[in-house]
Amino acid sequence: MKVLIAELRASIVLTLLLAAVCCGIYPLIVWGIAQGVFPGRANGSLVEVDGKVAGSSLLAQRFTGPKYFHPRPSAAGQGYDAADSGGTNLGPTSKKLIGTVRERVAAYRAENGLLPDARVPADAVTSSASGLDPDISVGNALLQAARVATARGIPKEAVLKRVRAHTEGRDLGVLGEPRVNVLLLNLDLDGKM
Amino acid sequence: MDIYGWVQLAIFLGLLLLATRPMGLYLFRVLDPEGKTFLDPVLKPVERIFYRLMGVDPAVEHDWKRYAVSLLAFSLVGTLFTYAILRLQHLLPLNPQHLGPLSGDLAFNTSISFITNTNWQNYGGESTMSYLSQMAALALHNFTSAASGIAVAAVLVRGIAWHTAKTVGNFLVDLVRTTLYLLLPLSLVYAVFLVSQGTIQNFRPYVTAQTVEPAAAPQTIVQGPMASQVAIKMLGTNGGGYTNANAAHPYENPTPLSNFVQIFSIFLIPGGLTFYLGRMVKNRKHGWSIWGAMAALFLAGVLLCWWAEAAGNPRLHALGVASASGNMEGKEVRFGIFDSALFATVTTDASCGAVNTMHDSMTPLGGLVPLVNLHLGEVVFGGVGAGLYGMLVFVILTVFLAGLMVGRTPEYLGKKIESYDVKVSALAVLLLILDIMGFTAWAVVSKWGLAGLNNAGPHGFSEILYAFSSATANNGSAFAGLSGDTPWYDTTLAVSMMIGRFFFIMPVLALAGNMAKKKILPESGGSFPVAGPVFAILLVGTILIVGLLSFFPALAVGPIVEHYLMIRSNAVF
């Protein structure tokens, strides 16, 4: 019994000490360095338009109009909810998944003027893991370019030029996949960058 | 399966190989109470103050039973600490979103989840937890449960290395030293790196953005002290995400580079522990043989997972979806197929459980790999500490089986393996199997078990099997469609997490205590060699026999039948 009391006493003291160091001092030091060296990133890579926060370059937001590039479908909250991230968690033989993708394939072909048997990029019709994937694949962006150009009344080549400018390669030449950031591309097309 | 994937795989294994020795040597110094490190000038005074306030004499070592009492007492205090904060978070500071208290069963499940290094998330981080709950209630255990795991591994290694010893160490000293000298400094550097990639670290309330397209509603954006927590959740193989989407969330894991470092950091300490073992038992080849066995199992898993995900879902291809980019449902564009498959394999090889892809949406065989990893006991590098002590239990069983085959008394590094050692090792392994299969069987025939399903058919069965496998293996990843936040699931999952953690640690400590007592016999020509390819192959064979024979029937009615239904039929669920 004496042993147990001594152990419990030491455990309580240690828990409080570690809480002070690991949960107080440590995050505060990281916070201090982060705010001092990388304030923009530490505060969410927020993008401002006319002095107001318009979103984050790291997070997808909803775009539905023809003159904007569209992000991937989102299952975060009611869609693109940046305070409630998540995926559909539907398995590969799910009736709901297959039905939804069938509708999205048809819609994607229709809005981008593709042939009825055209192959559609996988990322355009499937939901991302976070529901906030800020990127689309390069192939997906290229297929949307004609629609965006028509809606804006500008030559397709001008849109393609912006797509190329916003195409990010693999990190260090090998990590990850090439991608296009939807929000930054759309803001650029609006002339708000 | 493109060339970039192969190159990344080669870089990953190469870096792990390079990091193993320096990490192991550093662990050797940290886990020796008198060891010297380059951080002593700063941390030694802190360490001394800790012992003085705790009333602990760091020179005193205990036997395994007292070590176990220390561990359990500390775990009990930690559980109550977390439970109290989660229940009272609405009254405590650092809650700018005014989030309410957690329900009793959710707080119970979450406290157990973090104390056991599982970090199962029945809560959605950003919609449930205040900044204080994240920083204190949860992140504290990211440090302490990781340090406890490393401490137990150190005890088992000491038991094997020492001879005629009555004591195995002092839990509180091991815990303090591991946290101060290993986890804290690494996390600090790591967290700053994550911020440089785009992970947030602030105390502001959530931001409201006026979205670009006028028709779209304003967007509320999560904020908070994220980087400091993400660093330790990966390094300590905890895996509990700051957000619901975990490492798939662009704030938690902003770039392919941050992603690569996060995957690597899961294996960093477990890899070093194999070298620590070799150094302690003065047989470095033994440590490297175990490393080799782990690497072989890792490669088999990642290649199968990558292949299955790259092949994609034929049902979607039939609808006109391009097949070249593989199964993108539940994946992020910046990671693509390979980095998602690598993450899913590594996070379940170890007991991490962070995810950058939704395992529930993987192809049947892609999702089979994480599930099998859990069933093998997460001994492929494994959780920090937990991986090594789990692996050493299999080593004891391997040595025993090899001894049976040639009809000799089994010996491990000069010590006779006797009935007691085999019994406690087998007990540890069997309890976990019973835990997983027992709870799964109960859930699939119960209303409460079926009520939480997000998918039907064989995939629904996989959701339940994965939940109890993950909880028992203290992993924390999920086929996350399952709604686990019900009183039934909260409670049953918490019980299986406790069984998986403490009913494994207790036999391991008993084994360590018994091994430490033994004499070392001189090596003879008949001693079983525990280094080299023959040993590594026998070890892998033992792990596969125990893991696969126990779980194959369950896997057959889950992911395997789903695979054939997917490719050979039009059945949907």
Burial of B445 (0-12, 13-18, 19+ CB in 10 A): exposed
Average the pLDDT over each of A39-43, B232-236, B277-281, B403-407 and give the range with the smallest value. Answer: B403-407
Tens digits of per-residue pLDDT, B343-367? 999 999 999 999 999 999 999 999 9
| SS3 at position B162 | coil
Summarised one tens digit per residue, pLDDT across range B241-266 is 999 999 999 999 999 999 999 999 99
Kindly list the residues from chain A whose CB atom is less than 8 angstroms away from the CB atom of residue B230: none
> What's the confidence (pLDDT) of residue B551?
95
pLDDT at B439: 97
A165 in helix, strand or coil?
helix
- State the nearest Cα–Cα gap between B289 and chain A, in angstroms: 30
Q: Chain B contact for A30, CB < 8 A?
A: yes
Decide: helix, strand or coil at residue B207.
Answer: strand
Q: Which of B122, B212, B222, B572 to mutate to test the interface with A (most CBs of A within 10 A)?
A: B212
What pLDDT, on the 0 to 100 scale, is given for residue A1? Answer: 82
In sequence order, the 6+-apart residues with CB closer than 8 A to the CB of B287 are B24, B274, B275, B276, B277, B278, B279, B281
Give chain B's mean pLDDT: 95
Q: List, for residues B394-434, the tens digit of each pLDDT value.
A: 999 999 999 888 888 889 999 999 999 999 999 999 999 99
Q: What's the gap in Å between the CA of A20 and the closest CA on chain B? A: 9
Q: Does B483 touch chain A (CB under 8 A)?
A: no
Alpha carbons A134 and B253: distance in angstroms, whole number: 12
Instruction: Judge whether B59 is closer than 8 Å to chain A, CB to CB.
Output: no
Give the model's pLDDT for residue B406.
85
Q: CA B79 to CA B141: how far, in whole Å?
A: 9
Query: Can you give the residue ranges of every domain in chain B?
Result: 384-572
Segment A59-73, tens digit of pLDDT: 999 999 999 999 999
H or E stretch covering A53: strand A52-56
A41 contact residues in B (CB cutoff 8 A): 195-200
> What are the tens digits of pLDDT across the range B75-90?
999 999 999 999 999 9
Question: How far away is chain A from the Cα of B114, in angstroms, using its nearest Cα?
Answer: 14
- Picking from B221, B242, B243 by the largest number of A CB atoms within 10 A of its own CB, the best residue to mutate is B221
When computed from its CA atoms, the radius of gyration of chain A, rounded to whole angstroms, is 23
pLDDT of B276 > 90? The answer is yes
- With an 8 Å Cβ cutoff, are A41 and B331 in contact? no
Please, are residues B185 and B30 in contact by the beta-carbon 8 Å criterion? no
User: CB distance B250–A130 less than 8 Å?
Assistant: yes
pLDDT exceeds cutoff 90 at B216: no
Per-residue pLDDT, B524: 74
User: 304-363 in B: which are within 8 Å (CB) of A?
Assistant: 312-313, 315-316, 319-323, 325-336, 339, 355-358, 360-363
Q: What is the pLDDT of residue B484?
A: 82
Phi, psi of B321 (to 5 degrees): -80, 135
For B288, residues 6+ apart whose C-beta sits below 8 A from its C-beta are: B274, B275, B278, B531
pLDDT of residue B565: 97
Using a CB-CB cut-off of 8 Å, the residues of chain A touching B564 are: none
Is the pLDDT reported for residue B547 higher than 90?
Answer: no
| Cβ-Cβ contacts under 8 Å, B217 against chain A | 62
Contact A135 B332 (CB under 8 A): yes
Distance from CA of A157 to the nearest CA of B (A): 23
| Confidence check on the interface: ipTM exceeds 0.85, yes or no | yes
Average pLDDT over residues B217-227: 95
Characterize the bridge pairing of strands A179-181 and B415-416: unpaired
The alpha-carbon gap from A190 to the nearest alpha carbon of chain B, in Å, equals: 10
Average pLDDT over residues B370-385: 95
User: How far is residue B538's CA from residue B530's CA, in Å, rounded to a whole number?
Assistant: 10
Taking the CA atoms of B310, B311, B316 and B319 in sequence, report the sign of the dihedral they define: positive
Residue B523 has pLDDT above 80, yes or no: no
CB contact under 8 A, B455 and A62: no
User: Measuring CA to CA, how many Å separate B457 from each of A25, B125, B465?
Assistant: 49, 29, 13
A contact residues 43-72, partner B, Cβ 8 Å cutoff: 43-46, 49, 52-56, 58-59, 61-65, 68, 72
- How far from the centroid of its chain's Cα atoms is residue A50's Cα? 23
Q: What angle do CA A117, A120, A126 make, to 5 degrees?
A: 135
Separation of first and last alpha carbons in chain B: 29
CA B558 to chain centre: 23
Query: B57 pLDDT band (50/70/90 cuts)?
Result: very high
Give the whole-angstrom CA distance, residue A175 versus residue B299: 19
Query: What gap in Å lies between CA B478 and CA B240, rounded to an integer?
Result: 11
Residue B522 contacts by C-beta under 8 Å, 6 or more apart in sequence?
B414
Q: d(Cα B100, Cα B89) in Å, to the nearest integer? A: 7
Q: State whether residue B126 sits within 8 Å of chain A by CB.
A: yes
pLDDT at site B346: 97
CB pairs under 8 A between A and B: 399
The structural domains of chain A, with segments of one domain joined by +, span 2-39, 45-189
Q: B140–A122: do the CB atoms touch at under 8 Å?
A: no
Residue B221 has its nearest CB partner, among A82, A122, A171, at A82
Q: At what angle do helices B64-88 and A2-20 cross, to 10 degrees?
A: 50
* Spatial CA neighbour of B262 closest among B349, B200, B201, B190: B190
pLDDT of residue B40: 97
pLDDT for B527: 76
On the question of pLDDT at B108 being above 90, the answer is: yes
A5 Cβ under 8 Å from any chain B Cβ: no
Q: Which residues, including other chains, have CB under 8 Å from residue B70's CB and lie 6 or more apart?
A: A7, A10, A11, B62, B170, B171, B172
- Taking CB atoms and an 8 Å cutoff, what residues of chain A touch B4? 170, 174
Whether the full predicted model's pTM is greater than 0.90, yes or no, is yes
